A and B are shown apart, each in its own frame.
Chain A
Amino acid sequence: DTAVSQTPKYLVTQMGNDKSIKCEQNLGHDTMYWYKQDSKKFLKIMFSYNNKELIINETVPNRFSPKSPDKAHLNLHINSLELGDSAVYFCASSQGDTSGNTIYFGEGSWLTVV
């Protein structure tokens, strides 16, 4: 049983397209995240949701719109894709949104924009 699962794992798409990445966690956690890992392997938080409410938005372009239909799901929709959006996107979850809680990561979604 995968704790944090993301789909698709690989995605190749053209500039200007709109795409979504889905994430589901079966850990019963109430907090979910999206992290972006660039080509230099630098990881940076994008969003954090607690009980479906947005609590962290790290100055991400508004072409990125997260949506949390329930506590177990956090999807990421990206409009008008640009070359610079090529990265690995990691979904993650934790129990509680406070500092120090262990964050569990999914296996990543490799997005390539051509």
Chain B
Amino acid sequence: AQSVTQLDSQVPVFEEAPVELRCNYSSSVSVYLFWYVQYPNQGLQLLLKYLSGSTLVKGINGFEAEFNKSQTSFHLRKPSVHISDTAEYFCAVTKNTGFQKLVFGTGTRLLVSP
């Protein structure tokens, strides 16, 4: 089975500062990895995903993530955050074969203040 650990439940940061949200996964088989964002009282929106190829994945809203197989990590980064980036961020994993079954982490709340 797959599992995801998001060590930081909350990350406070000032506007225009860089941010990194950490995600580690566990799996005995090869995986696909995803980052989703949830704005208050809304559904989840895909930021980016890693399926294969380049380990640096660029997503929407200026976010990027790097897949590191040896460290089983998929950390999310943004060089300069905006107030509007305040939201809950979820890392998710699924094995790379068979039916789609995302396993989510517990989320990291990004709080951007002026």
| CB neighbours of A41 from chain B (8 A) | 88, 106-107
B106 contacts A42, C-beta separation under 8 Å: yes
| CB neighbours of A107 from chain B (8 A) | 41-43
Q: How far is the CB of B39 from chain A (nearest CB, A)?
A: 10
A105 contacts B44, C-beta separation under 8 Å: yes
Contact of B104 among A43, A48, A98, A104 (CB under 8 A): A43
Q: What is the interface of chain B, defined by CB distance below 8 A to chain A? A: 32, 36, 41-46, 49, 51, 88, 90, 94-104, 106-107
A99 to B92, CA, bound (A): 12
A-B contacts counted at CB < 8 A amount to 65
**Closest residue to A58 on the B side, CB-wise?**
B101
Q: What is the interface of chain A, defined by CB distance below 8 A to chain B? A: 4, 31, 40-45, 48, 55-56, 90, 94, 96-108
A106 to B45, CA, bound (A): 9
A98 contacts B100, C-beta separation under 8 Å: yes
